[in-house]
Structure 1
């Protein structure tokens, strides 16, 4: 398989390390963290898995200490906002990470170095690589530095978002498929119809259902029910 950018220019590499604020003792870990699966069997997916777990823990621990009065659901929503792919991709762009990625030829030609999912995965892989290189304290310190401006301005929501938006962001943070909404029944007279909608998510064994006078209203209620189950809240 043809691999593009496998040997990153040393100047570009050092610039990235400077922005990360970290110098690897084992440089092979850094190379691996930048290697997308399109390059072959040896890639950053395992480091990404580890980094994802570390990121969720570090951000969760910070939120736990920062908001002692917050409920579990509130903390879960804030963490989902911080660790979602879009946020990670923003951080990757701040590092100018894209040009440093090792991509297969096809992925490079299709613009993979700009794709949010690839950038987000690489940031998580770097977190995992730092942990493997020098341990959890270093990985935690870097995460908190990279997230500082975002964490410093974070506030508990006084008014909640649309439940459908919340559910979508939660599932995106978990890297699973987005919810599906299906109308399962329409009843009542033409001038007073009632719509029953089910919400199907990959994290719940059973769909949630709700009924309202509009399809959108039923979707919002079904999404709210799914969120309550996922976050362990009570209405």
Structure 2
């Protein structure tokens, strides 16, 4: 069975994967939710983009994991994609859950839909952190009020350096065995860079009829998709 390393997106920690991890373990897999530096119970740890990459690589090596499926949600697709090429033959597959993917020399901020300057100005106004979303920001994402409250209450400010420092890739993501999970309530089509990668032989697209946080809105369905990804 596979060893899943689960990494949530901005503002979140390992706690976000509770239901998904339980179902994966019930199916016989290893499940290792990871909190990245500077977030949740690790808020006091300074972090940049490469810190997050090393968090993931370090967890795989610390636990001496093999047959690893790296799972990156939203922002964390950027460090997960970099970590995937750094763990070598330990990697079985990488799964991007409605996620950004890394582009060599580019950052999360450089791809921001309003432009990098707007995004960096927002960080500067919040002491260098990306402020968590408010409850209203989750409207239309397939979440009930209890799920929204859980996400909002557990979120912590996201360290800005992880969002402005560039990704470092030595190869092409197209060469990785990968599954991309597109959450349709957050937009019907993948981002352009993802759409290009989905034309690669080793990439597979799975769609979910839910919003951007499926570990809360559809945890069992997401766990089934992750379980199925190791049999691709």
Shorter-chain TM-score: what band? Answer: under 0.3
Structure showing the higher helix proportion among its residues: 1
